[in-house]
Amino acid sequence: QVQLQESGPGLVKPSETLSLTCTVSGYSISSGYYWGWIRQPPGKGLEWIGSIYHSGSTYYNPSLKSRVSISVDTSKNHFSLKLSSVTAADTAVYYCARDNLGLLGYWGQGTLVTVSS
């Protein structure tokens, strides 16, 4: 059974960099698929942030592309998100998911990140 678990700080200061990791169990990232990040501000809808292939190829949301970096570490079977220069608008629940050509079939439980001083 594929499982994903997000981890990282729940509080980030404005202008700093948000960093999250998604650890995958039950499946080896190096075996294939894209792996993605999605966020959801409180009370709002879903926003796709970006996805990374096991080889390192990435696709990003154009509206976030200048601030986003997604990387993968196949030796640790995890992938990571960095979002720089955060503001209160980046406060959201951040989800990781397995991205099968756009089908997001497996999701983590989500982690709330609040941007506040």
Partner 1 sequence: DIQMTQSPSSLSASVGDRVTITCRASQSISSFLNWYQQKAGKAPKLLIYAASSLQSGVPSRFSGSGSGTDFTLTISSLQPEDFATYYCQQSYSNTRTFGQGTKVEIK
Select 16 or 47, whichever has its Cβ closest to partner 1. 47
Q: Does 104 bind partner 1 (CB under 8 A)?
A: yes
Residue with tokens 């001083």: 117
Q: From the CB of 48, what's the least distance to partner 1, in Å?
A: 4
Q: Please, are residues 97 and 104 in contact by the beta-carbon 8 Å criterion?
A: yes
Contacts to partner 1 from residues 37-66, by CB under 8 A: 45-48, 51, 59-62
Smallest distance from partner 1 to CB 77, Å:
20
Indicate whether 107 belongs to the interface with partner 1 (CB under 8 A): yes
CB-count burial class (<10 Å; 0-12, 13-18, 19+) for 56: exposed
How far is the C-alpha of 111 from the C-alpha of 10, rounded, in Å? 7
